[in-house]
Amino acid sequence: MEARETLANVLGGPPEAWVFTSGGTEADNLAVLGVAMAQQQQDPMRKHIVVSAIEHSAVRNPARWLAQQGWQVTFLPVNGEGVVSVDDVAAALTPHTALVSVMHANNEVGSIQPIAEIAAMLRARGGEVPFHTDAVQTVGKLPVHVADLGVDYLSLSAHKFYGPKGVGALYVRPGALAPQPLFYGGGHEAGLRAGTENVAGIVGLAAALKLAIDGLPEESARLRQLQAQWLDQLPRRVPVAQCNGPSQPMQRVPGNLNFSFPPIEGESLVLSLDLKGIAVSSGSACHSGKIDPSHVLLAMGKSTQVARSTVRFSLGKHTRPADLDRVLDVLPGIVERLGGRQRMATSF
């Protein structure tokens, strides 16, 4: 199929190494749960996995589920900028480690992880521990090649590079342990993912990938320049703003910006900015009516209050320099008003 060849040409591997899925979540689940189950069949003693503490819930929750099933799960710490250390990965390995999974770049704070270095360390130790990376945030935004990264499995999702929602893919390196399928049915996708393929979605994924890659050097340079301006100017205009994640734009995924405005609630900022026509997301996840502070920010050593006061600005292909001017026009007033209200609320 042409789409599979596009993935192979752009991201590496032979076309048959690419398994189409319903998105990044399914690709991550297939890698984590599928490899865990395949390892179990070969050696029931191999019941340990290593994941970073800042993974997206598509990796984090399968890992937690394995923990409920009696697996040992190591959640790797990160430094204050949200980056995993290769030494910590090495120290976490045991003779029973079945999989290491570390995302290529974090979705909240944009921190790029040392994936090629982790892969090299694992190879130097005999290459017995398979390595997965969730590259949902980097494919289409940074140059990604499975051989350069040295990974066994890599997840991607089309809607992160302006493709259709509900389609993604998992790379399975030829020769790597094949994940146990999550669905049983026909022999689609080399037996790894039963179910008639979403052909329209897959064609859209490949077309969007081509478009993203064609303009990638110019677009990522443009986004990095915008990002640098925001990183420089926003804290000057709003002194309470604290930048989360790497301070160097080259160490974060192009277009990602994450700021805390303590003591203001991130949710209040989201609503106030929305009223001014500016869409941002809060750094917290809302589960069953209760706002949980971001596990990523907590893992980076931020306090609960700082984590709750966080918003993420995502710059994309439609973002222009004037958008920063607009944010800088309205944000100081909003922060002043909400901060005053917060001070009043806490003084009673």
Residues designated catalytic:
286
CB 49 within 8 A of CB 66: yes
Task: Rank residues 28 and 219 by Cβ distance to ligand PLP and give the closer one.
Answer: 28
CB 191 within 8 A of CB 179: no
Of the candidates 226, 253, 41, 216, which has an alpha carbon nearest to the alpha carbon of residue 134?
253
* Tokens representing residue 288 in the block: 């069953």
- Binding string to ligand PLP for residues 164 to 203, with x set by CB under 6 A, is what? ----x-----------------------------------
Question: Binders of ligand PLP: how many residues, by CB under 6 A?
Answer: 13
> Which stretch in 23-31, 226-234, 269-277, 336-344 sits in contact with ligand PLP by CB under 6 A?
23-31
Q: Cα angle at 342 between 336 and 347, to 5 degrees? A: 125
- Closest contact distance (angstroms) between CB of 58 and ligand PLP is 4
* Strand 281-282 to 290-292 pairing: unpaired
CB 95 within 8 A of CB 49: no
- Closest contact distance (angstroms) between CB of 93 and ligand PLP is 23
> Which stretch in 20-28, 120-128, 291-299, 319-327 sits in contact with ligand PLP by CB under 6 A?
20-28
Q: What's the alpha-carbon Rg for the chain, to the nearest Å?
A: 21
Task: Rank residues 103 and 122 by Cβ distance to ligand PLP and give the closer one.
Answer: 103
- Closest contact distance (angstroms) between CB of 137 and ligand PLP is 5
- Distance between CA atoms of residues 258 and 280, nearest Å: 10
Residues 223-282 interacting with ligand PLP (rule: CB under 6 A): none
Task: Rank residues 227 and 272 by Cβ distance to ligand PLP and give the closer one.
Answer: 227
- Distance between CA atoms of residues 166 and 150, nearest Å: 27
- Closest contact distance (angstroms) between CB of 159 and ligand PLP is 6
- Closest contact distance (angstroms) between CB of 292 and ligand PLP is 17
Q: Could you say which of 6, 25, 220, 258 contacts ligand PLP (CB under 6 A)?
A: 25
> Which stretch in 24-32, 116-124, 200-208, 253-261 sits in contact with ligand PLP by CB under 6 A?
24-32
- Closest contact distance (angstroms) between CB of 106 and ligand PLP is 7
Amino acid residing at 305: Q
Task: Rank residues 231 and 253 by Cβ distance to ligand PLP and give the closer one.
Answer: 253
Distances (CA, A) of 260 to 6, 67, 304: 40, 32, 11
* Strand 285-287 to 281-282 pairing: unpaired
Residues 26-85 interacting with ligand PLP (rule: CB under 6 A): 28, 56, 58
- Binding string to ligand PLP for residues 104 to 143, with x set by CB under 6 A, is what? ---x--------------------------x-xx------
- Distance between CA atoms of residues 176 and 154, nearest Å: 12
Task: Rank residues 106 and 272 by Cβ distance to ligand PLP and give the closer one.
Answer: 106
Of the candidates 206, 193, 132, which has an alpha carbon nearest to the alpha carbon of residue 162?
206
Of the candidates 204, 195, 213, which has an alpha carbon nearest to the alpha carbon of residue 21?
195
- The yes or no reply on residue 6 touching ligand PLP (CB under 6 A) is no
Task: Rank residues 25 and 39 by Cβ distance to ligand PLP and give the closer one.
Answer: 25
Element (DSSP H or E) covering residue 21:
strand 18-21
- Closest contact distance (angstroms) between CB of 76 and ligand PLP is 16
Amino acid residing at 88: D
* Residue 154 bridge partners (DSSP): 133, 171
Cis upstream peptide for 263 (omega within 30°): yes
**Which residues contact ligand PLP by CB under 6 A?**
23-25, 28, 56, 58, 103, 107, 134, 136-137, 157, 168
